[in-house]
Amino acid sequence: MKMKSKILNNMLFVFGFGIVQTAAAYELVCPESVKVKAGIPELESVPLNWVVSKYKDTLIRLDGAGVYSGKPVDLAQLKPEPIVVKGKKHYPAWEVDSKLDLDGAGFWLSCSYNRNQLQLTRRIDSTMKVCWAVYSKDSQGGLLAKLKCQ
């Protein structure tokens, strides 16, 4: 009987720990910067008498984040709205409930660099209902961004 009680207690502990883990906030953090390799941009056509200039290796910094319905390449960026979660107001925020995902493409975070010269994108977990952006600055004044979701 004592052994059954220990097993039951251990099972309850493991089960309870699993609940705590799933109840924890889901967070996606945009990389602060990305390094772009030197090269020549590919243009569909080069205007007559013009030459495409090479560019050097460069570090480009994060300058924003947004949420899209479907992959960001499809340009369906969601308009942020203020949302209240557990009595606290968040803005910018977005509803990302899978019930709103009519085409099954999901909701995506886009981290933009150098005025959308480059975007890093990542699909938001489909079990999330609402997400909000949290912005801050690093020690040199560069933008930091993360998306918190529940």
pLDDT one digit per residue (tens) for the chain, 150 residues:
444 444 334 433 333 333 333 445 799 999 999 998 888 778 889 999 998 888 788 899 999 999 999 888 888 999 999 999 889 999 999 999 988 877 888 999 999 999 888 999 999 999 999 999 999 999 999 999 999 999
Residue pair 142/61 in contact by the 8 Å Cβ criterion: yes
Q: How many residues does the chain have?
A: 150
**Is the residue at 47 inside a domain?**
no
User: Residue 124 carries which side chain, given as an amino acid letter?
Assistant: I
**Is the residue at 15 inside a domain?**
no
- What pTM value is reported for the model? 0.73
**Is the residue at 5 inside a domain?**
no
Q: Residue 143: which domain range?
A: 61-150
Token pair in block for residue 143: 């933008």
Cβ count within 10 A of residue 77: 15
Q: How many domains does the chain contain in total?
A: 1
Residue pair 126/137 in contact by the 8 Å Cβ criterion: no
**Is the residue at 98 inside a domain?**
yes
**Is the residue at 91 inside a domain?**
yes
**Is the residue at 111 inside a domain?**
yes
